[in-house]
Amino acid sequence: MNETVWTLSIILLVLLVVTTAFYIVKKNQPNIDFSTIHSRVKTWWGMFVVFSFATLFNTIVSLLSIMVLCLFALREYFSMMKTRKSDRRLFLWAYLAIPLQFYWIYIGWYGMFIVFIPVYVFLFLPIPRIFGKGTLGFLKSVSSTQWGLMLMVFGLSHLAYYPVASPDYGANLVLFLVVLTQLNDVVQYTVSLYLGKSKVVPTANPYITWEGFLVAFILTTCTSYYLYPYLTTFGLTFGILSGVIISITGFLGCLTISFLKRDLLIGDFEKQETFKVRYLSRVDSLTYTSPVFFHTIRYFFDFM
């Protein structure tokens, strides 16, 4: 707990410094558009609050805070989709899957937690749409909804299972994962914005460059090396490997969500601008890093 408090205190201090510096620069340079950076600072504060609740308090508070995060992420995802009235019942059943998924976590039923959305929800989710009106758009609405559940609920819900799977180390592992994931995102975005030239997927996300990925990969791995002795029980090899895993999967998560958003928002430029500043853009990497890191630890270590 002491390590967790110290780490959160350092993050809080960094956020205060960044926020203060941002407002000073913004005041001295009023002609420059800082809207993108401003939105990121706001969402970093929001995520800091969410993950403080998830790591400092008991299991129920942790579950509820991450459940709310999944709810907002899924809601934003659905709001990007072009829907019909026949899709509403489908969305309702998708929302109802969230408390059930977190109930399996609460009672520690790992078997149901791991198959509920990929198997049972996948098989039974189409039923409300089958009894809707017409077959037009059936595959698109059902598959898009299932994609949203897999990423925004199944992927992110792993964050809540860390403390359940390992009461002694789970909270610190969540903090370790979130710090490295967000650091990777921030460095990748900043380097790509100011120094990047070789864009990875300019049609989906013009902010991602190979230079940003490489610098973020190096800094995330180095940070993992310095941070793992305080927040984990890993040895040197896995302490370094953790940074590699989180950096690469975070990069892939960011790319995947970028493609999803671009596909869903084709032709809707107003929404494209709106969703650049929403939480979905801040948790995209966690939809990949959280489950991959969780199952890697579970495979190699007995305490999970």
According to the per-residue pLDDT averaged within each range, which of 121-130, 148-157, 180-189 is highest? 148-157
Name the H helices within the chain: 2-28, 35-56, 59-80, 88-106, 110-115, 122-124, 126-130, 138-148, 156-165, 170-194, 210-231, 236-264, 269-274, 280-283, 286-300
More confident residue, 278 or 248: 248
pLDDT (mean) for 66-71: 89
In angstroms, the CA 267 to CA 171 distance is 42
| Residue positions counted in the chain | 304
pLDDT over 70, % of the chain? 82
pTM given for the model = 0.84
Structure tokens given for 263: 């596909």
pLDDT, residue 57, reads 67
pLDDT (mean) for 205-229: 91
Helix (H, G, I), strand (E, B) or coil at 206: strand
pLDDT digits (tens, 9 = 90+) for 242-269: 999 999 999 999 888 888 877 776 444 4
Exposed e or buried b per residue across 239-263, where buried means at least 16 C-beta atoms within 10 angstroms of its C-beta = bbbbbebbbbbbbbbbbbbbebbee
Please list the residues that pair with 294 across neighbouring strands. none
More confident residue, 234 or 51: 234
> Which of 10-19, 129-138, 142-151, 177-186 shows the lowest per-residue confidence on average (mean pLDDT)?
129-138
Spans of all domains in the chain: 2-300
In angstroms, the CA 267 to CA 293 distance is 36
Of 72, 73, 53, nearest in space to 63 by CA: 53
Given a contact cutoff of 8 angstroms between Cβ atoms, the answer to whether 101 and 154 are in contact is yes
In angstroms, the CA 115 to CA 103 distance is 13
Given a contact cutoff of 8 angstroms between Cβ atoms, the answer to whether 208 and 254 are in contact is yes
pLDDT, residue 82, reads 75
Given a contact cutoff of 8 angstroms between Cβ atoms, the answer to whether 78 and 90 are in contact is no
The mean of the pLDDT values for the chain is 82
Of 163, 144, 37, 154, nearest in space to 87 by CA: 144
| Positive or negative torsion for Cα 63, 255, 41, 225 | positive
pLDDT digits (tens, 9 = 90+) for 92-116: 899 999 999 999 999 999 999 999 9
Supply the DSSP symbol for 16.
Answer: H
> Which of 3-17, 175-189, 284-298 shows the lowest per-residue confidence on average (mean pLDDT)?
3-17
Instruction: Kindly tell me if the per-residue pLDDT of 288 is higher than 90.
Output: yes
Which of the four pLDDT bands, split at 50, 70 and 90, describes residue 275? very low
